[in-house]
Structure 1
Amino acid sequence: MSSAPGTPATVALDAAGVPFTPHTYAHADTASSFGEEAAALLGLDEGQVFKTLVVQADDALVVAVVPVSGTLDLKKLAAAVGAKKAAMADPALASRRTGYVVGGISPVGQKARLRTVIDETAELYDTVFVSGGRRGFDIELAPADLARVTGAAFAPVARG
């Protein structure tokens, strides 16, 4: 279906019959803001490029997908998933549970399927960009397809 690099994300999308477009770019080892790097190198609006964050919501891990132009509002995310409080998950735990390295965590094809919330601004675009499962690789797909393949809900969880 695609000529994308084989990552768990692309395998999952192909298996689900979800159309996507792969985009690779030259990731710099010195980059620390991976989503902003992707937007800049792919020539995209930062509102259309989304970062995948793993959050501890009460005693469960949850995935938040928010635009790189903003930040995650932990209180809004907690409310969206019915939790009392939320905090960023330990990066090592996030890597273990998703099967991806930090900076390359994709919302798709995770080792353990986690509850996922996508910021509602994704619905403003025909397509959005998310990590394809490694640094230097994004996938472009329709927000509705991203929600369907991850079992995600849309909610206002970003600010800025």
Structure 2
Amino acid sequence: MKEIKTNAMRLLEQKKISFEVVEYEFDEEHLDAVHASMSAGLNPEMVYKTIVMKGSSNNLYVFVTPAEFTISLKKARSLTGEKEIELLKLDQLLKYTGYIRGGCSPLGMIKQYPTFIESLAELEDYIYVSAGKRGLQIKITPADLQMATGAVFADFT
């Protein structure tokens, strides 16, 4: 069987950043990060979801947050300097990121958007983020994820 390579994995290899891939069975009905963590046998506190948001300026922003957490819109507006901010509509996700729901990675998007990683990640030795395909997670250190994405650690939950 051919080894699966996603844009996220290619980017990390290109930057010579070490990572591990975890494969799991996904369910089309439950594509959220909490279900992904349970399917992969991982602690939901260690699995981070990728949320893409659109500001009133039409600029896009990427937020990487623990599976069980919710983004504070007030904090997101403050971080981005946007008057208003909302989730990017699902039907636009593929167009702007190259990824689909349940397989959206903060790594290797079509374009590099300003990225914010929840500051709680700095307390962990490693976290898991989507590898860019449903059923695949990448295990990576928060510092390496920050370096690969140009992200800023911030409190936005």
In the other structure, the counterpart of 1:57 is 55
Question: Which digits, 9 at most, give the CA deviation of each residue in 1:32-80, with x for residues without a partner?
Answer: 42x1122112222211110001101222110011101111112111111
CA distance in 1, matches of 2:8, 2:21: 11
Q: Which residue of 2 aligns with 1:144?
A: 143
CA pair 108-4 structure 1, distance change in 2 beyond 3 A: farther
Distance 2:148 2:56 in 1: 25
Query: How far does residue 113 in structure 1 lie from its aligned partner after superposition?
Result: 0.9
Alignment-derived partner of residue 133 in structure 2:
134
> Identity over the aligned pairs, expressed in percent?
33
RMSD (Å), alpha carbons: 1.4
- The aligned residue for residue 34 of structure 2 is 36
In the alignment, structure 1 segments of 5+ residues that lack a partner are none
Aligned 8 A contact 1:4 1:10 in 2: no
Instruction: Name the aligned partner's letter for residue 148 of structure 2.
Output: V
How many residue pairs get aligned? The number is: 155
TM-score (norm 2): 0.94
Amino acid across the alignment from 2:61:
V
In structure 1, the partner of 2:123 is: 124
Normalised by the length of structure 1, the TM-score is 0.92
More strand by share: 1
Larger mean Cα displacement after TM superposition, 59-68 or 74-83: 74-83
Residue 93 of structure 1 deviates from its aligned partner by 1.7
Asked if the contact 2:34/2:44 (under 8 Å) is kept, the reply is: yes
User: C-alpha distance in 2, partners of 1:98/1:32?
Assistant: 17
Which amino acid letter does the alignment assign opposite residue 63 of structure 2?
Answer: A
Tell me which moved more, 138-147 or 57-66.
57-66
